[in-house]
Amino acid sequence: MATEIKMPQLGLTMEEGTVERWLKSVGDEIKAGEPILEITTDKLTNEVEAETDGVLLKIVADEGSDVPVQGILGYIGQPGENIDAAGASEVKVPAAAPAAEAPKPEASVITPAVTETGKKVRISPLARKIAMQKGIDYTVLKGTGPGGRIIKRDILAAESAPAAAVKEAPKAPSSEVAPKAQASGSMFPVKNLELMDGDTTEKLSGMRKVVAQRMYTSAVEIPAVTQTVKADVTKLMALRQKLKEEGRHFAVNDWILKAVAKALRKHPEMLVSLDGETIIHRAHVNLGMAVALDAGLIVPVIRDADTLGLEALSAKAKDLANRARSNQLGSDEYKGSTFTVSNLGMFGVESFSPIINQPDAAILGVCCTEDELVMEDDGTITKHQVMRISLTFDHRLVDGAVAAKFEMTIRDLLENPMDILL
């Protein structure tokens, strides 16, 4: 029996992967555990290993093709084995398209320029490109271009045909709006914007697409509130400077991570996730840490941050950030956060409203440190350093007063830095 090589799921958010490179050719002998191809996800490049011994019988997904998770990449079996026979029992499970989603372009469906009957399909390059983007099987369409060529309008007509059918189906008059939205279907509606002089376009893909999807989902699902609190960090800055002079350098962010971890331990009501109508109370303080990359954004996770001392926490944060930037994070290193910190202080941001990194219930935006004049009790004016922290929270789970108390705890820790360490 031939064994399928399937697209693995390398992380919670992975929906599809791209075949980067086949390391083996058809006919090559393969040992179980041996890498057979490389795939890239939105975040990483990984090797897929063989699960059984045998020879590579067939490559289904060519290099460069996007395949959904659990989609079939190829087959391993005994030399001379007939895949179709083997596949009769095994391949009947369709390549796992996630339910309730628009049909995904699957390499095997789209590529033929020849129909099953062997007839050549006349289609314009543009029409073929649009068909592949929209996952439309053009081999069954009738073209209306010169000589029966399938052109753009034929693909667009094929796309809108099912939508029209959906629209007619519902009986209740009020339901017209909903199916329309369903038919247009995606969080990235096509608006056919006019290009202006000098504009260029690129496909929304890879990490950018994942960031876009996650930000959209969070923004749409969560009734979010942002509250900003000001902390006097004069003492913290002085302590940091003193340690620096002693040769022990900690980033401002290290202190904040430590303070947040400590505050979260004290406020478990912030460590929650909503799953349907179930509230999950999280046991671990797993701090997500937003890291900006050229290609987008990634959030590596410091596990059990509350159990780490400042030095260990600092080292861990630095290591994760560095490896995030060089695309060397393991897939389990950006999963499992229970709270996230996003620091834009180094860019001079005075206040902002970050978007919650689901399934967390809150995210802390850290703003810049700036000088302020303060009137002391004795009436003198002195210069202090202050920093604002902006907490965005899910108001379904957390109320304003609860969030404010959590922020006050963080503020008190930042204002009395020795308490962070104790």
Partner 1 sequence: MSTLSVSKAIREGLHEEMVRDENVIVLGEDMAVMGNVFAITQGFLDEFGPLRVIDTPISESGFTGMAVGMAMRGLRPVVEWMYDDFIGVCLDPVMNQAAKMRYMTGGQVKVPIVFRAPIGAGRRNAGQHSQCLEALFTHIPGLKVVCPSTAADAKGLLKSAIRSDDPVVFLEHKLLYAKKEDIPDGEYLIPLGKADIKRPGKDLTIITWSRQVYFSLEAAETLSAQGIDAEVIDLRSLVPLDWEAIRASVQKTGNVMVVEEGARRGGIGAEIAAEIQEELFDDLDAPVARVAAANVVSPFSPPLEDAMFPHPEDIVAAAHRLLAK
Interface pick for partner 1 out of 117, 174, 201, 278 (rule CB under 8 A)? 201
Interface pick for partner 1 out of 84, 197, 246, 377 (rule CB under 8 A)? 197
Task: Point out which span in 114-122, 144-152, 262-270, 317-325 binds partner 1 (CB under 8 A).
Answer: 144-152
Tell me, letter by letter, the H, E, C secondary structure of the chain: CCEEEECCCCCCCCCEEEEEEECCCCCCEECCCCEEEEEECCCCEEEEECCCCEEEEEECCCCCCEEECCCEEEEEECCCCCHHHHHHHHCCCCCCCCCCCCCCCCHHHHCCCECCCCCECCECHHHHHHHHHHCCCHHHCCCCCHHHCECHHHHHHHHHHHHHHHHHCCCCHHHHHHHHHHHHCCCCCCCCCCCCCCCCCCCCCHHHHHHHHHHHHHHHHCCEEEEEEEEECHHHHHHHHHHHHCCCCCCHHHHHHHHHHHHHHHCHHHCEEEECCEEEECCCCCEEECEECCCCEECCEECCHHHCCHHHHHHHHHHHHHHHHCCCCCHHHHCCCCEEEEECHHHCCCCCCCCCCCCCCEEEEEEEEEEEEEECCCCCEEEEEEEEEEEEEECCCCCHHHHHHHHHHHHHHHHCHHHHHC
> Counting contacts by CB under 8 A, is residue 124 touching partner 1?
yes
Task: Point out which span in 28-36, 147-155, 279-287, 342-350 binds partner 1 (CB under 8 A).
Answer: 147-155
Give least dist CB 122 to partner 1, A.
11
> Counting contacts by CB under 8 A, is residue 142 touching partner 1?
no
Residue placing its CB nearer to partner 1 in the complex, 87 or 145: 145
Residue placing its CB nearer to partner 1 in the complex, 150 or 290: 150
Give least dist CB 132 to partner 1, A.
10
> Counting contacts by CB under 8 A, is residue 129 touching partner 1?
yes
> Counting contacts by CB under 8 A, is residue 195 touching partner 1?
yes
Task: Point out which span in 9-17, 63-71, 139-147, 377-385 binds partner 1 (CB under 8 A).
Answer: 139-147
> Counting contacts by CB under 8 A, is residue 199 touching partner 1?
yes
Does the active-site annotation cover 284? no
> Counting contacts by CB under 8 A, is residue 126 touching partner 1?
yes
> Counting contacts by CB under 8 A, is residue 151 touching partner 1?
yes
String of contacts with partner 1 for each residue 212-251, x by CB under 8 A: ----------------------------------------
Residue placing its CB nearer to partner 1 in the complex, 199 or 246: 199
String of contacts with partner 1 for each residue 72-111, x by CB under 8 A: ----------------------------------------
Residue placing its CB nearer to partner 1 in the complex, 152 or 284: 152
Task: Point out which span in 14-22, 120-128, 260-268, 289-297 binds partner 1 (CB under 8 A).
Answer: 120-128
Give least dist CB 156 to partner 1, A.
11
> Counting contacts by CB under 8 A, is residue 198 touching partner 1?
yes
Does the active-site annotation cover 384? no
> Counting contacts by CB under 8 A, is residue 156 touching partner 1?
no
**Phi, psi for 262 (deg, rounded to 5):** -65, -45
Which residues have C-beta within 8 Å of that of residue 281, sequence separation ≥ 6? 268, 271, 272
> Counting contacts by CB under 8 A, is residue 203 touching partner 1?
no
Order of strands, sheet of 362-375, starting from the edge strand that comes earlier in the sequence:
224-232, 381-394, 362-375, 339-343, 287-289, 301-302
- CB 123 within 8 Å of CB 113: yes
> Counting contacts by CB under 8 A, is residue 149 touching partner 1?
yes
**Cα dist. 163→57, 140, 169, 328 in Å?**
40, 18, 10, 43
**Phi, psi for 377 (deg, rounded to 5):** -60, -35
Of the candidates 377, 399, 412, 419, the residue annotated as catalytic is 399
Give least dist CB 146 to partner 1, A.
5
Residue placing its CB nearer to partner 1 in the complex, 131 or 386: 131
Give least dist CB 149 to partner 1, A.
8
Of 296-335, binders to partner 1 (CB under 8 A) are none
**Cα dist. 127→143, 157, 269 in Å?**
10, 11, 53
Give least dist CB 137 to partner 1, A.
19
Q: Which residues bind partner 1 (CB under 8 A)?
A: 124-129, 144-146, 149, 151-152, 194-195, 197-199, 201
The residues annotated with a catalytic role in the active site are 395, 399
